[in-house]
Amino acid sequence: MQDRPQAKLFVEGRYKKLSRDLPQTVFFCPECKGHPRRRKNCTKCEGFGKLSRESVQELIGWVLGKACGTRKHKFHGAGREDVDVRMLGRGRPFIMELVGPRILDANLAEIEAQINDRNAGRLEVEGLHWTEKERVRVIKETPNAKAYRAGLSIEGEPDLGKLEGLIGTRITLAQKTPERVAHRRADLTRERWIELRDLRAVEGEEGPWQVDLVTQHGTYVKEFISGEGGKTDPSLGDLLGGVACACLWLDVLEILDEEGALMRLPKPRPSAAGFGTGL
């Protein structure tokens, strides 16, 4: 007998991540890969199978999956941020693919409220609506510029006069593949643009300096800030007159369109229950 392909549901929305310790997807243990049998004797994760207790995917998937009668889900994000980076603004577009759902008419407004209730101060979702499989490719392949805010320490005296002339202009960087991703990315030099929007001294824990900037799709922003020993040219420190900058924390303020303008949000269609059910 041939296996029938499983039915799938696709739910699209945006998430905001307000915490600095939440990965986007399930963070499986690199030793045992979360394998049900191998993980039992795994010393790396002590049998847990994962290296973080939860993720954006799981916090959404537990509620959404329960309501749709399945525990199997795949998470498709419009890019991702590092674990320690917050995702603010209007949030990051994502699609949750529910595999083998038994309930096709779940109430997405209720699910959204429940996710936000359970994860207050940590994760928020917005605009949940049924969508179709084709959207997965669209959100994964659409290039997005991003607006960031970073907390900085600066060693030396930044040349703020020089900075004045650079605010709002598009600056081209030559960026080599950073060390931290060298194992999974080709070692190339890429050209990327960035725009500095603001730099200011601030008081307290959020300081001593903050920079706002917009970067082209695929820019490594932490490496632009540090320069990573010349691998990004120019670095933020170069632009500030040859000082050394270190990134203390990073927030994504907004996911933008390819050119750096605010995106139009997809209008949720008033959809019949289970719209998007497909194979």
Shortest Å distance, C-beta 33 to Zn ion: 8
Quick check: 97 and 76 in contact, CB under 8 A? yes
Shortest Å distance, C-beta 32 to Zn ion: 3
Q: Which C-beta is closer to Zn ion: that of 31 or that of 132?
A: 31
Q: Which C-beta is closer to Zn ion: that of 45 or that of 150?
A: 45
Q: Which C-beta is closer to Zn ion: that of 33 or that of 118?
A: 33
Quick check: 83 and 23 in contact, CB under 8 A? yes
Shortest Å distance, C-beta 25 to Zn ion: 17
Q: Which of 7, 19, 31, 171 binds Zn ion (CB under 5 A)?
A: 31
Would you count residue 44 as binding Zn ion (CB under 5 A)?
A: yes
Alpha helices (H) along the chain: 56-68, 108-118, 134-141, 160-166, 221-226, 236-239
Q: Which C-beta is closer to Zn ion: that of 38 or that of 190?
A: 38
* Residue 75 to residue 69: CA distance in whole angstroms: 17
Q: Which of 9, 11, 22, 45 binds Zn ion (CB under 5 A)?
A: 45
Shortest Å distance, C-beta 22 to Zn ion: 20
> Under rule CB under 5 A, how many of the chain's residues touch Zn ion?
7
Quick check: 13 and 129 in contact, CB under 8 A? yes
Return the structure tokens found at 114. Answer: 């429940």
> Dihedrals φ, ψ of 197, to 5°?
-105, -35
Which among 60, 95, 57 is positioned nearest to 77, based on CA atoms?
95
Shortest Å distance, C-beta 97 to Zn ion: 26
* Residue 202 to residue 114: CA distance in whole angstroms: 37
Would you count residue 233 as binding Zn ion (CB under 5 A)?
A: no
Would you count residue 26 as binding Zn ion (CB under 5 A)?
A: no
Q: Which of 3, 21, 82, 84 is an active site residue?
A: 82
Q: 257 an active-site residue?
A: no
Q: Which C-beta is closer to Zn ion: that of 42 or that of 103?
A: 42
Would you count residue 32 as binding Zn ion (CB under 5 A)?
A: yes
Quick check: 146 and 261 in contact, CB under 8 A? no
Angle in degrees, CA 99, 121, 34, rounded to 5: 40
Would you count residue 212 as binding Zn ion (CB under 5 A)?
A: no
Q: Which of 18, 42, 83, 136 binds Zn ion (CB under 5 A)?
A: 42
Which among 170, 130, 84, 127 is positioned nearest to 263, based on CA atoms?
127
Of the listed pieces 30-38, 98-106, 143-151, 216-224, which binds Zn ion according to CB under 5 A? 30-38
CA atoms within 13 A on the CB side of 5: 6
Would you count residue 88 as binding Zn ion (CB under 5 A)?
A: no
* Residues recognised as catalytic: 82
Binding site for Zn ion (CB under 5 A): 29, 31-32, 39, 42, 44-45
